[in-house]
């Protein structure tokens, strides 16, 4: 789920772009899953029972995501009936509700198997939804099939969406299915070299045992290469021909999928690291996972709720007819001195187009013009510093904003359009913040980030 939320990966030659989200806290009770997680994510997951989370100490967050066991739900014999649990696993759902009640994030996403809809003769799910509603959320759910979103697997999962604000709830729509030519099948992810890995093939004895009961038991389900694979599960390491698990037939011989093939079936990119744990643990983690490509599509739909409006330049000009901000450099420095920047001050990080790069590379830039669109979320009257962002490189140099105002793109030139308003920043280079360029996410339209120097230093781990 986290990989889909963050994005920034490639699967079967398709780029799933980075999303403007950051993980601030994650826990898992499984040591081995956590080890895989921490090999792949910058933010590190803690090995912890969710019941031990100190909710009041959690960092600020806007969205809670996760899955919870559904096999433990029951309806207790009370009048009126209410949600109960058969064992400790059933309690985990209430931990999620407890966090929502106490912290009230803007959204939550909960994932579960299709069977949750029919648990306890269909009585459990409405009560689960009601618990979420009583925690203060407008709730909707939908059964999604991963194969509809470019995942080479027929995997049906219930995605529950919760919204604190009614407008968010009204504006959200589950993702539409991808076009037929974007859908993937098992043939797309089979690794040819694995067809020569004898450890993956079933013995003649196993095949003979399966064939004896095949017609009666509907076993030996060799997958069609030209269709999405059936659902892969957590016991892939112990897959049997006498079960309903999907298997692959190569030149008349049955074999199981390798761990990397199973990861591909789940839509994990090939650079997702698995080797920190045994192959059996890899299979378990993969089988329990949510297809990141499907989750990415859910998050892209959620982002449409988070529409950031562009600024109205005319309104800003009316409010600030001269300058929005005007600063004087506090410390005039000699070439041999180090500039003392203020970590608490706001900085605008902005993408610089390739045709403007030269003046920022040689640090001669004196004026920065925004495009016709500029996000309305940026606190213009607090801007103090400016950092140019180069695509494929990141940020390095710090500039001081002497003046920020509304102007035009070609001020004073014959072809100036007096109605073509832009924001104009009169800037001055002050120091190189990093030894080399540092990668950082542009969180607004993949073009801008409005933050503080302190946050920049923290994100780049300086």
- Write down the catalytic residue from 33, 45, 70, 229: 70
Q: Which residues contact 222 (CB under 8 A, 6 or more apart)?
A: 247, 248, 249, 254
252: left (phi over 0), alpha (psi -120 to 50) or beta: left
431 classed as catalytic: no
Residues 93 and 131 sit within 8 Å (Cβ to Cβ): yes
Residues 347 and 454 sit within 8 Å (Cβ to Cβ): no
Strands 73-75 and 83-85: what pairing? Answer: antiparallel
Q: Which residues contact 296 (CB under 8 A, 6 or more apart)?
A: 4, 5, 7, 16, 19
- Whole-angstrom CA distances from 307 to 143, 165, 377 are 26, 14, 11
Count Cβ atoms within 10 A of the Cβ of residue 206 and give its class: 0-12 exposed, 13-18 middle, 19 or more buried: middle
Helix (H, G, I), strand (E, B) or coil at 8: coil
Whole-angstrom distance, CA of residue 380 vs CA of residue 450? 9
Cβ–Cβ contacts within 10 Å for residue 248, how many? Answer: 21
Please choose, from the candidates 424, 293, 357, the residue with its C-alpha nearest in 3D space to the C-alpha of residue 16.
293
Task: Give me the active site residues, please.
Answer: 70
């Amino acid at each position: 789920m986290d990989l889909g939320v963050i994005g920034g990966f490639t699967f079967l030659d398709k780029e799933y772009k980075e999303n403007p989200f950051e993980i601030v806290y994650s826990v898992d009770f499984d040591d081995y899953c956590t080890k895989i997680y921490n090999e792949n994510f910058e933010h590190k997951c803690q090995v912890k029972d969710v019941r031990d989370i100190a909710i009041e100490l959690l960092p600020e967050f806007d969205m809670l995501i996760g899955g919870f066991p559904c096999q433990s739900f029951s309806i207790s014999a009370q009048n009126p009936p209410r949600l109960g649990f058969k064992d400790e696993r059933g309690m985990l759902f209430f931990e999620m509700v407890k966090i929502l009640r106490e912290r009230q994030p803007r959204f939550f996403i909960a994932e579960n198997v299709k069977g949750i809809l029919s648990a306890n003769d269909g009585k459990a799910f409405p009560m689960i939804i009601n618990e979420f509603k009583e925690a203060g959320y407008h709730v909707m759910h939908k059964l999604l099939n991963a194969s509809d979103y470019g995942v080479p697997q027929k995997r049906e999962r219930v995605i529950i969406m919760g919204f604190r604000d009614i407008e968010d709830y009204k504006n959200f729509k589950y993702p539409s299915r991808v076009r037929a030519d974007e859908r993937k099948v098992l043939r797309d992810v089979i690794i040819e070299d694995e067809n020569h890995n004898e450890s993956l093939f079933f013995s003649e004895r196993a095949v003979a045992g399966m064939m004896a009961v095949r017609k009666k038991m509907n076993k030996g389900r060799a997958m069609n290469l030209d269709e999405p694979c059936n659902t892969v599960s957590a016991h892939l390491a112990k897959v049997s021909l006498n079960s309903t698990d999907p298997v692959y037939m190569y030149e008349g011989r049955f074999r199981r999928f390798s761990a990397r093939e199973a990861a591909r079936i789940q839509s994990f990119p090939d650079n997702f690291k698995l080797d920190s744990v045994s192959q059996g643990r890899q299979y378990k983690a993969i089988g329990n996972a949510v297809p990141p490509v499907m989750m990415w599509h859910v998050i892209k739909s959620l982002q449409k709720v988070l529409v950031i409006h562009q600024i109205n330049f005319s309104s800003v000009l009316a409010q600030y007819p001269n300058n929005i901000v005007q600063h004087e450099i506090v410390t005039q420095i000699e070439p041999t001195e180090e500039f003392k920047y203020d970590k608490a001050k706001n900085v605008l990080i902005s993408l610089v187009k390739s045709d403007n790069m030269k003046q920022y590379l040689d640090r001669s830039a004196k004026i920065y013009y925004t495009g016709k669109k500029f996000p309305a979320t940026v606190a213009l009257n607090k801007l103090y510093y400016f950092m140019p962002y180069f695509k494929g490189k990141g940020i390095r140099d710090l500039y001081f904003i002497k003046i920020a105002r509304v102007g035009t793109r070609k001020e004073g030139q014959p072809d100036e359009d007096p109605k073509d308003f832009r924001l104009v920043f009169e800037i001055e280079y002050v120091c190189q913040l990093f030894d080399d360029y540092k990668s950082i996410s542009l969180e607004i339209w993949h073009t801008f980030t409005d933050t503080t120097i302190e946050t920049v230093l923290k994100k780049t781990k300086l």
